[in-house]
């Protein structure tokens, strides 16, 4: 079975979720482009969008259409060349609408898992629950005659465990997109000793066609991304709790977030990132990873307390940020939660004092955005961290400790 044949009947499980919707979009674009390029009347591509909620699937269709229209604008030159003989397409808008129609035509929305029984490739983006994933995979595999490949978006469960329990014998691959899948460039690829060369080669080709960069990871709980993130989050939480002997905890959370954001030049501070991913999700992933780690305990009582208070972070359906450790104004943190009072404290009430105590940033400081899009990125970073290394302000000391950890 060649590349095109493998993609002629695909299913995405959990298609209406935050990750699944992005995976569905990328798959729909690739399958649509293959069909349009082939110009063969017998090439028929089907993409099943499978989820438990009809309402969520209806909303998903709106998302796919809107994204397809935007992407069609970038492909306008190719579309005009492709459909040059189509006299019904007169304006740019006609070509754009026609492409969006072709993308939507590829997708079949359904709540029936049975539609995956005919698929040759199955993307899975359901909740991070090993038992659920195994149950679904076994049900599909026992009723699917195509020896389907399963590409799981798990971010923390060892692939070998899923492979063994679902009896997939080399037909499951960890293909972990970063959030949001349609934008982020990285995909973690995790294989097992039984994974076929064909499946691995296909994964590389698919990722390249989706314009993703593959990072291969060992099959270890949390892989690279969450392996780092969960430990990063736990260190930050523990550091804030340690600093709470010198200042209120909510101020310590602000300080550690500022250290990780500004002093370490990141796109988000660590507590912002926890909010973005979701406090509930971070706690859950730590719980998933923990049984596999003999010498560590990935657990935070602070996260437990936030969950008891029903403060979970994450995003609303329109992409705006829910309250977590921080509240957000125009996408930026504006207040921090105080567990002692049960209220959010506005930044203007205390940040000036905290910032004074940290001291000045290095003179060569530039934000992540400024540096990331600079042609002299490496030089700017080298200069900045060399300057930071020679400083002994409270902020510099905390940053160097954090960086070393």
Beta bridge partners of 198: none
Query: Measured between alpha carbons, how far is 217 from 194 in angstroms, rounded to an integer?
Result: 15
Weakly modelled stretches of the chain, pLDDT under 50: none
The structure's pTM equals 0.89
**pLDDT per position as a tens digit, 302-352:** 999 999 999 999 988 777 899 999 999 999 999 999 999 999 999 999 999
Identify whether the C-beta of residue 371 lies closer than 8 Å to the C-beta of residue 265. yes
Q: Provide the 8-state DSSP code for 262.
A: I
User: What integer pLDDT is reported at residue 41 of this predicted model?
Assistant: 57
Q: At what angle do helices 54-74 and 18-38 cross, to 10 degrees?
A: 50
Query: Measured between alpha carbons, how far is 384 from 92 in angstroms, rounded to an integer?
Result: 47
Beta bridge partners of 121: 10, 149
User: What integer pLDDT is reported at residue 316 of this predicted model?
Assistant: 84
Average pLDDT, whole number, for the chain?
A: 95
Query: Measured between alpha carbons, how far is 300 from 282 in angstroms, rounded to an integer?
Result: 10
Half-sphere exposure of 177 (CA within 13 A, CB side): 27
Half-sphere exposure of 299 (CA within 13 A, CB side): 9
Query: Measured between alpha carbons, how far is 122 from 103 in angstroms, rounded to an integer?
Result: 18
User: What integer pLDDT is reported at residue 42 of this predicted model?
Assistant: 59
**pLDDT per position as a tens digit, 35-62:** 999 876 556 899 999 999 999 999 999 9
Would you state the torsion angle of the CA atoms of residues 352, 356, 360, 361, taken in this order, to the nearest 10 degrees? Answer: -60
Query: Measured between alpha carbons, how far is 71 from 335 in angstroms, rounded to an integer?
Result: 37
Domains of the chain: 3-216 (3.40.50.720), 225-404 (no CATH)
Radius of gyration of the chain (CA): 24
User: What integer pLDDT is reported at residue 315 of this predicted model?
Assistant: 87
């Amino acid at each position: 079975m060649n590349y095109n044949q493998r993609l002629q009947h695909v299913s995405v499980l959990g298609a209406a979720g935050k990750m699944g919707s992005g995976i569905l979009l990328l798959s729909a674009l690739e399958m649509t482009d293959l069909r349009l390029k082939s110009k063969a009347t017998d090439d028929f591509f089907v993409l099943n969008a499978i989820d438990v909620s009809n309402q969520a699937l209806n909303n998903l269709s709106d998302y796919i259409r809107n994204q397809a229209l935007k992407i069609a604008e970038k492909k306008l030159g190719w579309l005009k060349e492709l459909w040059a003989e189509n006299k019904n397409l007169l304006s740019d808008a006609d070509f754009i609408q026609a492409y969006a129609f072709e993308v939507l035509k590829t997708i079949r929305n359904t709540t029936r898992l049975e539609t995956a029984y005919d698929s040759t490739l199955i993307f899975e983006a359901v909740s991070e629950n090993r038992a659920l994933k195994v149950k679904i995979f076994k049900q599909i595999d026992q009723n699917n005659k195509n020896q389907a490949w399963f590409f799981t978006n798990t971010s923390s469960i060892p692939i070998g465990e899923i492979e063994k329990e679902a009896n997939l014998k080399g037909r499951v691959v960890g293909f972990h997109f970063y959030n949001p899948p349609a934008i982020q460039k990285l995909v973690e690829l995790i294989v097992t000793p039984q994974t076929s060369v064909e499946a691995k080669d296909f994964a590389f080709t698919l990722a390249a066609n989706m314009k993703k960069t593959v990072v291969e990871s060992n099959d270890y709980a949390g892989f690279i991304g969450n392996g780092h993130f969960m430990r990063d989050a736990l260190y930050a939480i523990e550091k804030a709790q340690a600093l709470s002997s010198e200042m209120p905890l909510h101020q310590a959370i602000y300080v550690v977030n500022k250290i990780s954001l500004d002093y370490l030049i990141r796109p988000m501070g660590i507590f912002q990132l926890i909010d973005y991913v979701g406090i509930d999700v971070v706690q859950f992933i730590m719980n998933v990873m923990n049984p596999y780690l003999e010498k560590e305990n990935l657990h935070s009582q602070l996260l437990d307390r936030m969950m008891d208070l029903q403060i979970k972070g994450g995003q609303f359906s329109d992409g705006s940020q829910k309250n977590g450790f921080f509240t957000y104004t125009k996408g930026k943190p504006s207040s921090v939660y105080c567990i002692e009072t049960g209220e959010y404290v506005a930044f203007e009430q205390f940040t000036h004092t905290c910032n004074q105590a940290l001291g000045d940033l290095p003179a060569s400081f530039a934000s992540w955005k400024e540096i990331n899009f600079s042609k002299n990125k490496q030089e700017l970073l080298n200069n900045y961290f060399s300057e930071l290394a020679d400083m002994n302000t409270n902020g510099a000391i905390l940053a160097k400790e954090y960086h070393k950890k």
